[in-house]
Structure 1
Amino acid sequence: MDKVKVGIIGVGNMGSGHIGFVKNIPEAELVAICDIDKAKADAKAAEAGCKAYYSTDELFAAKAVDMVIIAVPHYSHTPITIQAFENGVHVLCEKPIAVTKSDAQKMIDAHAKHPELRFGLVFQQRTNEAHKKIKKLIEGGEFGKIVRVNWIVTDWFRSQSYYDSGTWRATWAGEGGGVLLNQCPHHLDLFQWFFGLPVKVRSSVSIGKYHDIEVEDDVNTYCEFADGSTGNFITSTGEFPGTNRLEIMGTRGRMVFEDGVIRFRRTEEDVNHFCRTTPESFPSMTTWDIEVPYKKDSGNQHQNVVAAFVKAVLDPKAKLVADGEEGIRSVEFGNAMLYSGLKHEDVAIPMDTAKYDAMLQELIKNSKFVKKEAKAAIVDMSNSY
């Protein structure tokens, strides 16, 4: 195979963006656009110089593609991914992998039956140079033993007009959740990528705190990890100007990442050792204030993910930015937060997926979004942050 034949399924906001990404990769050839909106599919296919398809059945029956980029509404990720694997097609899926942990597991199980195929996720934030630097510092033990982490991500401000722009938006039946599922999947992924999953969460979740919506728009979660460390994850779409601030407290000092700057106040020695050995009752310790350098991002992060995936299709030994199997972790994290907040109880991780699925089905049953509208709205739902 000299070039990878690529099809894009769903040409809403993100799917349309992927057209340009694919065309900028020499090893890739965009051969198919697939969307149930025939007019949009035809227009995008004409623009891209490729063939239009109007259903995944039609696309896969044509045997035209080696890989697909799935950029459709969240609920459709699971069935289309499974269908692709069953037809021998590699899958790069937009975030989140699925709405629920159980649906994510179905995708992973389907992939396990076809290990010769590649399965990746568009977690482009992992390619951000600052995030890569933080990951390296953690793995290198620069912060000592991490004892507490806080991540405040409230710079997701959305207006009521945003939510009113589609009947599917911010509904259980149309989207499956609010800020945790739509705006925050990348941060949930980064959180677990940096620190691993907690073993227990307790959340405060507000439904429609700032907007007239039926899903969560404000979340405050407390986390406990297996090693005794703790954390907090706070997010909202109702605050302006909002904050995006990650703080890591370790036994060798405190790191803060905010406004693109990594600041590390490093202690002269390990804090735990100093605490137990100093004869002073109110001691202090020498610290160094460091602005951690990192190289600036180059190029488009989304395109970097697509390029890495194309390379991996051509070379089975090449690594993906994010393997599909990893996507279940951030989904489980978000599911656990939501269940905890709505049921007002601690949730252990691994979580009981049956309980979560039952809760979601009850929410869907009472959702304002009429399912028959889903087909008409589906193309406009595609990964609209």
Structure 2
Amino acid sequence: MQNVRLGIIGVGNMGKGHIRYLQAGEVTGVTLVAVCDKLESNLKWAEEQLGEQVLRYADPNAMLDSGEIDAVLIATPHYSHPELSIACFERNLHVLVEKPAGVYTKQVREMNEAWEKTNVKFSMMYNQRTNPIYQKLKDLVDSGELGEIRRTNWIITNWYRTQSYYDSGSWRATWAGEGGGVLLNQDPHQLDLWQWTVDMMPKRVRAFCYFGKHRNIEVEDDVTAFVEYENGATGVFVTTTGETPGTNRYEVVGDRGKVVIEDGKLTFWRLRESETEFNKRFTGGFGSPECWTCEVPIVGTNPDHKGIMQNFVNAILHDEPLIAPGEEGIKGLMISNAMLLSTWLDDWVDMPIDEELFNEHLQKRIAESPNKGG
């Protein structure tokens, strides 16, 4: 194969965004040959923007069975991501999925299991993994420069949303229509980066989710969570859509210093001697290791969605390693599922979570949702 023939399912806001850079030729080795959407208005937009050379479908199965495509980008509502991905895998089509991987881990695990039976490429649109500032943090952790991780803390509260935003669609911020609130809609990138940069998943979670605290919605719009890791480290995650001005500050503390990412800068307070070694030898009353404050240079810009798409295409054509393997989409989702389940149970939740129990609680809320039709 010298060129990937791509089909897109979902021509909403995200789908249109992907279409624009593809049509502008900003990703090489790929041609958009088909789009699919159940809304006639979106198909009409595609006809006006793309012309007759791009095929249009109302039924995704018809597009998948057409024989015209090699790979699919799924940019549909959250609940449908696993189902559509599995349909692609059954037809031996490569898959790139918009975030989140799904709404609950049981359906995402089934998606991953279906992929494992194939030899196709499977990626997530985790475009923040291409951001050089987070890549640099991961490098500092992976190389041992930061030492053993002891604490993580992410305050991500610059997701301000008004009531009019939620009122713009009946599916928004409902259990049946969207499957969750700030954790599922706004935070999937941060939840993914939280575990990816330190290469650790929490061992257990205690969270406090507030539902409709700031807006007239049924899902969570304010969350504070505490996690414990296997090595004894702890972490805190704070998020909301009802606060302005907001904060985006990610702090990681290790045995050899502290890293803070905020306002587009990465600052490393580097200990000349590890805290562990200093503590062993120090005999005075008060003291601390020598510390250097370093503004770490960040080289390059974030290629964003285009970077993940190019990587996906390169993986198909040249077997390039994936930046965001699709099977890893379950990780951030499990953290958000654990936060909700902890709140519903008013207790600690061990990881991996009880998927059946989570789904039981979710289905109860879907049944009570005003948007039962999805």
How well do the aligned residues superpose, as a CA RMSD in angstroms?
A: 1.2
Residue 284 of structure 1: which of 282, 288, 297 is its match? 288
Q: Alignment partner for residue 295 of structure 1, among 293, 296, 299?
A: 299
Q: Whose RCO is larger (CA < 8 A, sep 6+)?
A: 1
Q: Which residue of 1 aligns with 2:127?
A: 124
Unaligned segments of structure 1, at least 5 residues: 375-385
Q: Any conservation in 1 of the 2:11–2:37 contact (CA below 8 Å)?
A: yes
Q: Distance in 2 between matches of 1:359 and 1:118?
A: 33
| Aligned with 2:63 (options 59, 64, 80) | 59
User: Which residue of the partner structure matches residue 34 of structure 1?
Assistant: 36
Q: Distance in 1 between matches of 2:227 and 2:105?
A: 19
Which residue of 1 is the match for residue 329 of structure 2?
Answer: 327
**Equivalent residue for 2:317?**
314
- 1:144 — aligned with what? 147
Mapped to 1, the partners of 2:190 and 2:146 lie a distance apart of 21
- Note closer, same or farther for the CA distance 1:215–1:187 as it changes in structure 2 (3 Å cut): same
The residue matched to 1:302 in structure 2 has which SS?
Answer: helix
The equivalent position to 1:201 in structure 2, one of 205, 209, 220, is 205
What is aligned with 1:188?
191
* Deviation of the 1:311 alpha carbon: 1.3
Other-structure match for 1:163:
166
Q: Secondary structure at the match of 2:34?
A: strand
Task: Tell me the matched-pair count.
Answer: 369
Counterparts of 2:42 and 2:166, CA distance in 1: 23
Give, as a single letter, the amino acid of the residue that structure 2 aligns with 1:157. Y
- Match of 2:183, SS state, is coil
Tell me the amino acid that sits aligned with residue 326 of structure 1. Answer: E
Aligned equivalents of 2:129 and 2:77: distance in 1?
Answer: 22
1:48 equivalent in structure 2: 50
- Secondary structure of the corresponding residue to residue 365 of structure 1: helix
Separation in structure 1 between the aligned mates of residue 258 and residue 309 of structure 2, nearest angstrom:
35
1:349 counterpart = 2:351: yes
How big is the shift at 1:61? Answer: 2.3
- 3-state SS in 2 of match to 1:320: coil
2:300 is the alignment partner of 1:304: no
Residue pairs, 1:197-236, within 5 angstroms: 197-236=201-240
* CA–CA separation in structure 2 for the residues paired with 1:12 and 1:80: 16
Give CA deviations for 1:210-254 in whole Å, capped at 9, x if unaligned: 111100001111010000011111111011111100111112122
Give 1:377's aligned residue.
Answer: none
Question: Of 268, 273, 277, which aligns to 1:273?
Answer: 277
C-alpha contact (below 8 Å) 1:32/1:45 kept by paired residues: no
Structure 2 letter corresponding to 1:118: K
The percent identity for this pair of structures is 43
Aligned position for 2:249? 245
- Alpha-carbon distance in structure 2 between the residues aligned to 1:2 and 1:337: 44
- The amino acid across from 1:162 in the alignment is Y
- Is the CA contact 2:182–2:239 (under 8 Å) kept in the aligned structure 1? yes
**Aligned ranges for residues 1-150 of structure 1 at < 5 Å?**
1-23=1-23, 24=25, 25-49=27-51, 50-114=54-118, 116-150=119-153
Which amino acid in 2 is paired with 1:361?
A: Q
Q: Residue 344 of structure 2 aligns to which amino acid in structure 1?
A: L
Shift of 1:38: 2.2
- Structure 2 Cα separation of the partners of residues 287 and 62 of structure 1: 62
Task: State the TM-score, normalized to the length of structure 2.
Answer: 0.96
Shift of 1:20: 2.2
